[in-house]
Amino acid sequence: MSNEAVNSPFDRLIGTTIESAGPTQVITSTPIRPDLTQPHGIVHGGLLATLSETAASIGAGRASPSGSAVGQSNHTEFLRPATPESKVLTATATPIRVGRQVQIWEVRITDQRALEIARSTIRLFNVNPPRSAPAQ
């Protein structure tokens, strides 16, 4: 899977693509555009939290027995500002723990110079498929 668009309409709106994805690592990239910045000209913190959640959710879905997981918490630390001159942000997600019900993923966001912009810890819940209703 290379340069594949993500499934979420919101992630497509911000321009996120999947560079690689599996149950042990996910790498996504997102070009920085001026409309993704706050009034001070730096990338909006909400974008950084979104990139982390997206990468971790893709990986957690690949690692979940049911193929699906949903976010429970997102703790994102902003380490340095990113500006449109940073050009592209890359989110690399790796699992810290993959349990039967809960997963915890770490995500590091870097710019094209490999400077770390943000770091996140994402907690996700494995979603079980709905059970069939018993026959009447």
Q: Is 133 inside any structural domain? A: no
Look up the CATH number of the domain holding residue 72: 3.10.129.10
pLDDT tens-digit map of 104-131: 999 999 999 999 999 999 999 999 866 6
Q: Domain residues for 53?
A: 4-126
111 in a structural domain: yes
Neighbours of 59 (CB within 10 A): 29
State the total domains in the chain.
1
Contact 102, 72 (CB under 8 A): yes
Q: What is the pLDDT of residues 91-110, one digit of tens each?
A: 999 999 999 999 999 999 99
Q: pTM for this one?
A: 0.88
Residue 131 lies in a domain: no
Among 15, 18, 16, smallest CA distance to 2 is for 18
Residue 136 located in a structural domain: no
Q: Percentage of the chain surpassing pLDDT 70?
A: 89
